Structures are given as C-alpha cells and as structure tokens.
Amino acid sequence: MSVRILALVGSLRAGSHNRQLAEAAVKHAPEGAEIVLFEGLADIPFYNEDIDVEGSVPTAATKLREAAGAADAFLFFSPEYNGTIPAVLKNAIDWLSRPYGNSGFAGKPVAVVGTAFGQYGGVWAQDEARKAVGIAGGKVLEDVKLSIPGSVTRFAETHPADDAEVVAQLTEVIARIHGNVGQVA
C-alpha cells in the first residue's frame, strides 16, 4: 500500500537544518511511502476565526487543508524556538484543527522529529508539537521520535541526506508511520 505523508517544517529559514532533514526524508523514503514537503506555511495568516468562514478562507490556508486531506499521515520537523514550538508550525496545527469537529488530522498518524543546536535536539518543542496535534485530533505516535542535537556543528559540512546514521533513523521513522496508517487507535 502506498502511503502519502505530508511533511511540515517549522523553520522558514532557507538554510534550515530541519528543512534539510525533511529533504532527506523525501530523498530516502522507503518503498511504499511518499513524503510530500508542504511549501507555503509562511503565506498562511495567523489563525483567526473571523477569516475562517466559507468564502473567506485565505488561499494559503485552503491549500494546506487540501494537502492535509490528501495525506494519509503527517511528519513534522520542528526546531526549538525559546524552548517551545515555532509559531509557524503551531499556526498550521490551528488551521488544520478547524472547523471544529472536522480536523485535518482526525485518525491520521502523526510523528514529530527534528534537530536543534542545543544538546537535546529540540525535544521540548517536539513534545509541545505532539501535545498540540494530539489535542487537534491527530493519532500521535508517541514512541516514534528522533531528536538530533548539535545541528549547527553536525550539519555544518554534511547535509542530513548524506549522514548515514540520520538516514537510517529517518527511514525507520517513516516505516513506523507507514505501519500505523489504517490502524485503529
């Protein structure tokens, strides 16, 4: 069974190590899994119920919802900003959690991974992302984790797609997501 996994990256920076990690996932996705890297999180306005009404939903938010609707699962790549989840990733979760009772995450597996400069690889942010997406209706894979510390030095001269250890870990994460698609919670 082919599984479509929507990747959301919590960093907008062009040289983001989390974006590079997502690119590595796209490049090394195992057979039967397709990683679709969503482009456009920067274009989505902050969630506001006043603009989330039929006929007024911003185009960028509609594109996110359509991509989520076509996905079988989600893979978040989260850096850590001041000890927590980046606003752009939280905003995506907010848009996909609505309209109330019709979450884009409903019943779909979600894993959160990432890298950060600190010694723990962004675990606080990743835990916050798991919490938020779980409340938003996602089937959070609590035991599927990958936090890579020291991103600035580890990936200074090596793209994550060329780091054998990272590729093996990412491949395992994707395989675990794939194995949870269609499973009853």
In order of start, what are the domains of the chain with their CATH numbers?
A: 3-180 (3.40.50.360)
- Mention every residue, 6+ apart, whose C-beta is less than 8 A from residue 13: 19
- Mention every residue, 6+ apart, whose C-beta is less than 8 A from residue 171: 28, 29, 30
Strand pairing report for 33-37 and 73-77: unpaired
The residue ranges of DSSP E strands in the chain, in sequence order, are 3-9, 33-37, 73-77, 109-115, 139-148
* pLDDT of amino acid 119: 87
Q: Cα dihedral sign for 135, 168, 172, 145?
A: negative
* pLDDT of amino acid 185: 53
- Chunked into runs of 10 residues, the chain (185 residues) has average pLDDT values of 94 95 96 96 97 95 98 97 96 95 94 92 95 97 95 93 96 96 73
* pLDDT of amino acid 120: 83
* pLDDT of amino acid 57: 97
* pLDDT of amino acid 36: 98
* pLDDT of amino acid 3: 97
